[in-house]
């Protein structure tokens, strides 16, 4: 539970109950920690009130169903995405669920979240996905956030096409997912850039053809060498700091696309004096989770396997240790942690 900047605890609180007709209460079986949770704990998300249970990524079992819920029953195994959608507002009708006027990113942000034994989930019919038989929690856990984030904000916004050269800057959880999912579109070359050699090795296992440790090599030189001086067709920014975004603008070829995925907390300089005549497209997006159904089918068909992104597993009673490991990811060689109940 979040108690203000720098303050967190694992404690006993009353179980949630159905509050609105469209709510369900879910017994959480498996959850995880997101970098956004760490931002909240640092005080970077001031609209999260003290006393909020964090977490917006989980799989669980429906325990209680509101009278207005039509498609779910007690006992259903469900994926709980980071984004909650009312299904009726103008943004929801456009598939922009992250901007839902009643929902969006509220779990673990403005209402209690999913790092708990039980959680209340609003707008259940239009927000939750049933887990197909034969799939484990670990198979589908990352559909809650990092897979659709990498896919929607990176691969789809970047318009990856057959034969493209794709560069992913940042080999954290979302960047690694972008490496894996970009392969669905048959690019000619996928290049991953990061400072951490161990993450770059994971990127190679997930489909990167070339890796660049950018404290040892110049990514611009490497990309130009592999593209006959032209640059990359698609560059996916998956870090969220000014230096990496500016690097993306140096890596992209004329006519190319930069898909920003990283969460930026500081101003970034856009060098239009260099880019104005290069026909560059820059996209931004907050994940809508509208591709979960598609990605779920790919997992069920064994076309993609996100489980290698999980590096550590904890019991829910060890949540504080899980935060310590994830919060010091480089020291522990952590990508994503899995936290299980029972």
Q: In this structure, what CATH number is given to the domain that contains residue 46?
A: 3.90.180.10
Q: Are residues 127 and 181 in the same domain?
A: no
**Beta strands, E only, the chain:** 24-32, 58-65, 77-80, 118-121, 129-130, 165-169, 189-194, 210-213, 232-237, 252-260, 281-283, 310-315, 336-340
Q: Are residues 279 and 152 in the same domain?
A: yes
Q: Does the residue 76 lie in any domain?
A: yes
Q: Does the residue 17 lie in any domain?
A: no
pLDDT for 265 equals: 82
Q: Are residues 77 and 140 in the same domain?
A: yes
The residue among 241, 260, 283 that closes a domain is: 283
pLDDT for 256 equals: 98
Q: Are residues 74 and 179 in the same domain?
A: no
Q: Are residues 262 and 216 in the same domain?
A: yes
Model pTM score: 0.95
Using DSSP, state whether 154 is helix, strand or coil.
helix
Residue ranges making up the domain that contains 303: 24-145+290-340
Using DSSP, state whether 103 is helix, strand or coil.
coil
Q: Are residues 80 and 113 in the same domain?
A: yes
Q: Does the residue 171 lie in any domain?
A: yes
pLDDT for 198 equals: 96
pLDDT beneath 70: ranges in the chain = none
Q: 275: domain CATH number?
A: 3.40.50.720
Q: Are residues 270 and 322 in the same domain?
A: no
Q: Are residues 155 and 199 in the same domain?
A: yes
Q: Are residues 277 and 307 in the same domain?
A: no
Q: Does the residue 140 lie in any domain?
A: yes
Q: Does the residue 18 lie in any domain?
A: no
Q: Are residues 222 and 166 in the same domain?
A: yes
pLDDT for 300 equals: 97
Q: Does the residue 14 lie in any domain?
A: no
Q: Does the residue 5 lie in any domain?
A: no
Domains contained in the chain, number? 2
Q: How far is Cα 147 from Cα 309, in angstroms, rounded to an integer? A: 10
Using DSSP, state whether 193 is helix, strand or coil.
strand
Q: Are residues 311 and 226 in the same domain?
A: no
Q: How far is Cα 139 from Cα 153, in angstroms, rounded to an integer? A: 21
Q: Are residues 277 and 311 in the same domain?
A: no
pLDDT for 44 equals: 86
pLDDT for 9 equals: 92
Q: Does the residue 15 lie in any domain?
A: no
């Amino acid at each position: 539970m979040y108690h203000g900047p720098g303050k967190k605890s694992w404690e006993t609180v009353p179980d949630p109950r159905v509050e609105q007709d469209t709510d369900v209460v879910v017994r959480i079986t498996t959850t995880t920690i997101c970098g956004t949770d760490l931002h909240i704990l640092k005080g970077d998300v001031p609209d999260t009130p003290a006393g909020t249970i964090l977490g917006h990524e989980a799989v669980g079992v429906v325990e209680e169903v509101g009278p207005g819920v039509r498609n779910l029953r007690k006992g259903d195994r469900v994926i709980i995405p980071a984004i909650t959608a009312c299904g009726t507002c103008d943004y929801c009708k456009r598939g922009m669920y992250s901007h839902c006027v009643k929902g969006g990113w509220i779990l673990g942000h403005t209402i209690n979240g999913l790092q708990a034994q039980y959680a209340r989930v609003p707008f259940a019919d239009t927000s939750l996905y049933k887990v197909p038989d034969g799939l484990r929690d670990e198979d589908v856990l990352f559909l809650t956030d990092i897979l659709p984030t990498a896919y929607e904000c990176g691969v789809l916004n970047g318009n990856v096409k057959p034969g493209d050269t794709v560069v992913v800057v940042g080999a954290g959880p979302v960047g690694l997912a972008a490496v894996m999912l970009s392969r669905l579109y048959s690019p000619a070359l996928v290049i991953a850039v990061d400072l951490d050699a161990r993450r770059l090795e994971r990127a190679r296992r997930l489909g990167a053809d070339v890796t660049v440790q950018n404290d040892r090599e110049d990514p611009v030189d490497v990309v130009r060498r592999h593209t006959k001086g032209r640059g990359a067709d698609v560059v996916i920014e998956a870090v969220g700091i000014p230096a990496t975004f500016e690097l993306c603008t140096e890596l992209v070829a004329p006519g190319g696309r930069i898909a920003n995925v990283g969460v930026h907390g500081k101003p970034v300089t856009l060098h239009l004096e260099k880019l104005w005549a290069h026909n560059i497209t820059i996209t931004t997006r907050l994940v809508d989770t509208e591709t979960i159904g598609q990605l779920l089918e790919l997992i069920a068909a064994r076309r993609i396997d996100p489980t290698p992104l999980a590096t550590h597993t904890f019991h829910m009673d060890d949540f504080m240790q899980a935060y310590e490991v994830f919060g010091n990811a480089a020291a522990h060689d952590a990508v994503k942690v899995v936290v299980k109940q029972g």
